[in-house]
Structure 1
Amino acid sequence: MPKGYWIAHGRVDDAERYELYRAANAAPLAEFGGRFLVRGGARQLREGDAKPRSVVIEFPSYEAAVACYESPAYQDAIALRHGISESDLVIAEGWDG
């Protein structure tokens, strides 16, 4: 079964308040097996446009990635970041080759 991934590019406008979102998203990410592969850090934009921060989270399955996003706990976390950050997020199915 292919893994699932959240691939996000974002911008944080209020780092202090953003910490509330990070704290709130920890429980649903753990519940659905989410694991950070990329969380900020150095990067080089080589083509196209993207916001200044990149995040990649791996889940045990595509279904788990979707279920985490749709969970009430994660939806509550999202509400905490509205107005303090902006993100583009894709949920993608991994490729098993």
Structure 2
Amino acid sequence: MSAYWIAHVTVHDPAAYAGYQALAPAAFAKFGAEFLVRGGASETLEGPVLQRHVVIRFPDLARARDCFYSREYQEARACRDGACEAHVVIVEGASDPSS
């Protein structure tokens, strides 16, 4: 069953955050990630306003988790330390009601 990585990010230092953006794609590719939402126009209806919203689909929960804890992603993540405020959650997708 697919799993989703949902991230909300506010970037405070775009130059430092660029290091994360350069390294993270390798981790996502390694674990079969597909970006469904990356930035774009948004409207906050409830809760704190954050700049960027990202939704990434993975083949399953294990690969979403493995991606986050992978050496590749942790190296990318280290580049963004202090450059942004990030909230990341992984969640298993709903089962197909027709199955």
TM-score where L is the length of structure 1:
0.92
Q: Which runs of 5+ in 1 are unaligned?
A: none
Whole-angstrom CA distance in 1 between matches of 2:49 and 2:93: 21
Residue type of the alignment partner of 1:65: A
Q: Which residue of 2 aligns with 1:69?
A: 68
Q: Which runs of 5+ in 2 are unaligned?
A: none
2:23 counterpart of 1:24: yes
User: What SS does the aligned partner of 2:90 have?
Assistant: strand
The alignment covers a number of residue pairs equal to: 96
Q: CA deviation at 1:12?
A: 0.7
TM-score where L is the length of structure 2:
0.90
Amino-acid identity (%):
45
Q: CA deviation at 1:91?
A: 0.7
Rg larger for: 2
Contact 1:9–1:50 (CA under 8 A) maintained in structure 2:
no
Whole-angstrom CA distance in 2 between matches of 1:50 and 1:65: 25
